[in-house]
Chains A and B, each alone.
Chain A
């Protein structure tokens, strides 16, 4: 007996597979609808609500939110004390991002070009391990490390390099009585906490640059430095941009680190936290929250214009 040209179905799985084969769009719709609902309604919806709130204002006498369109709340952002918060946050986020990029590059480059097998596993473990422990524990640990009575002061005193720390702390505007109560301390903790978010995308983009491309550059007469500038950096740029989106926006939104380590000066995250909490000024909190979004959009537009995504 010869086998039939069409095999008999084996129940529901076969019928479902057949249905999806006949209507490929149906499967797509079924797969995409739940995440789309999640993103569309819950995420974009709350973002829209946030945006809406920022165009309301609070009644100065009663403290009640008046649901009328106004730009008064945005105007309030430009008051000296609020502008201070925004500028301080942007400067901190920019400094943290640049420091992360500078520190991450050699590590990512080593991992992408040289680490093989076991060393690669060690690299991933080393980068990810800090992410597994609680963020609060790490921040408090840093507070102790950086404190006046902390291990860092002890170690520099013991090696006779205490002048380094006192030198740093005497910088006007950045210094303070100890590292854990200065902007430098805040900066160090931010850099430590967000560094993995810069290393991983950078490493991924460097990994996609084939060795032959670096060899081609040397073959055509380029020095190492020229290869770095004209081939490696442009090709790594999408990764650097992706990483900087993380470090920049995470720093701008964080409200815990500046509370624990640093001066008591406020950052955007803390301002949002206080405005919507203690002050009960939801519109101003919303307007503050819009600032990082606007900055990120401008940043991405500039990056795109500079050709950062050309190699994608």
Chain B
């Protein structure tokens, strides 16, 4: 496995604020890597450390084995799709896409040919003569993507690429980005605060919390076996059980997570709760219980009897689904 990006104990402090604090990270070549976390968790700063817009206060960053500590952004073979797209408003779409070739001195005919090729790749053939102001949000994002790909970077960075799009467009773009990445074989690193997006698109992901990586692994690892309470809370709609409840359910006195899909309602059991809400999801109903102040959720498949709000019920579960984790 070739390593595309490697962080070794990397920190970025802004005065007293530790935006990134001792991060170790390896991203494999050709993978689709997600950085997931709430705002202010350091994920965007990590992306900017790769592109070179931030300098680490400590540690080393290597891109394909080369230390980039003293390499300015314009000499890194890495390109970025910006959150606000950052298209140049005074240039038409073709000139925007060809910009990376223009600054490297490519001849007009050659760079326009390549730009049109890139526009075709993102399904915007024929839009070359328009100005960015005449495009919709989704189209602008495709232009930003084409512009970032025109230099054939070895790593493509995407900063909340789908944040500004509406749901339907976002889902379509998710599929498209994924297939684009597979076709081009370039390493994609994308930042998002949307756990569904990260889980569905990434080959592997890092969950950030307060400038550190809370967990790094495949989507299945992260979802099924969250390492800490934070990961379980943030990533999933998992039930987070305090130590005393884990013990009551027959486990050790440790924090644990229990997925709603693995949780059923039962007539009797060691843990009981009052039904506080029923949320109809189509194929199932999510039943939310209040068990002595701990919120628990269970999924009841469609067609099975449902409790009513205010009713007291016990929960049962598949013991193999109980996953122990660290407290912080």
Q: How far is the CA of A216 from the CA of B90 in the complex (A)?
A: 14
Task: Please indicate the chain A residues that have their CB under 8 angstroms from the CB of B83 in the complex.
Answer: 212
Task: Please indicate the chain B residues that have their CB under 8 angstroms from the CB of A215 in the complex.
Answer: 51, 53, 73, 80, 82, 86
In residues 280-312 of chain A, which contact B (Cβ within 8 Å)?
Answer: 307, 310-311
Task: Please indicate the chain A residues that have their CB under 8 angstroms from the CB of B12 in the complex.
Answer: none
- Residue interface bits B68-108, CB-to-A below 8 A is 1, else 0: 00001111001110111011111000000001101110000
Q: Is A32 an interface position by the 8 A CB rule?
A: no
Considering only CB atoms, which chain A residue lies closest to B89 in the complex?
Answer: A311
- A216-B82, A226-B103 are known contacts. Are A221 and B74 too (CB-CB below 8 A)? yes
Q: How far is the CA of A219 from the CA of B78 in the complex (A)?
A: 7
Q: Is B237 an interface position by the 8 A CB rule?
A: no
Considering only CB atoms, which chain A residue lies closest to B102 in the complex?
Answer: A230
Q: Is B151 an interface position by the 8 A CB rule?
A: yes
Considering only CB atoms, which chain A residue lies closest to B150 in the complex?
Answer: A220
Task: Please indicate the chain B residues that have their CB under 8 angstroms from the CB of A212 in the complex.
Answer: 82-84, 86
Considering only CB atoms, which chain B residue lies closest to A235 in the complex?
Answer: B90
Q: Is the CB of B100 within 8 A of A221?
A: yes
Task: Please indicate the chain B residues that have their CB under 8 angstroms from the CB of A221 in the complex.
Answer: 74-75, 100, 103-104, 151
Q: Is B212 an interface position by the 8 A CB rule?
A: no
- A218-B74, A219-B74 are known contacts. Are A310 and B90 too (CB-CB below 8 A)? yes
Main secondary structure, interface of A, reads helix
Q: Is A24 an interface position by the 8 A CB rule?
A: no
Q: Is B259 an interface position by the 8 A CB rule?
A: no
- Select A231's contact among B73, B74, B88, B151, beta carbons within 8 Å: B88
Q: Is the CB of B88 within 8 A of A213?
A: yes
Task: Please indicate the chain A residues that have their CB under 8 angstroms from the CB of B51 in the complex.
Answer: 215, 219
Q: Is B147 an interface position by the 8 A CB rule?
A: yes
Q: How far is the CA of A152 from the CA of B100 in the complex (A)?
A: 50
Main secondary structure, interface of B, reads loop
Task: Please indicate the chain A residues that have their CB under 8 angstroms from the CB of B88 in the complex.
Answer: 213, 216-217, 231
Q: Is the CB of A235 within 8 A of B99?
A: no
Q: How far is the CA of A252 from the CA of B231 in the complex (A)?
A: 69
Task: Please indicate the chain A residues that have their CB under 8 angstroms from the CB of B86 in the complex.
Answer: 210, 212-213, 215-216
- A220-B99, A221-B100 are known contacts. Are A210 and B90 too (CB-CB below 8 A)? no
Task: Please indicate the chain B residues that have their CB under 8 angstroms from the CB of A226 in the complex.
Answer: 103
Q: How far is the CA of A203 from the CA of B88 in the complex (A)?
A: 19
Q: How far is the CA of A212 from the CA of B84 in the complex (A)?
A: 8
Considering only CB atoms, which chain A residue lies closest to B144 in the complex?
Answer: A216
Q: Is A223 an interface position by the 8 A CB rule?
A: yes
In residues 177-227 of chain A, which contact B (Cβ within 8 Å)?
Answer: 210, 212-213, 215-223, 226
Q: Is A234 an interface position by the 8 A CB rule?
A: yes
Q: How far is the CA of A69 from the CA of B253 in the complex (A)?
A: 105
- A220-B147, A222-B74, A235-B90 are known contacts. Are A230 and B80 too (CB-CB below 8 A)? no
Q: How far is the CA of A47 from the CA of B103 in the complex (A)?
A: 48
Cβ-closest 4 pairs across A and B: A220-B100, A216-B86, A212-B86, A222-B103
A217-B99, A230-B103 known; 10 new pairs, CB 8 Å cut-off, are A215-B80, A219-B51, A219-B53, A219-B73, A220-B74, A221-B100, A221-B104, A223-B74, A226-B103, A230-B99
**11 contacting pairs across A/B (C-beta < 8 A):** A212-B86, A215-B51, A216-B82, A217-B99, A219-B80, A220-B103, A220-B150, A221-B103, A223-B103, A311-B89, A311-B90
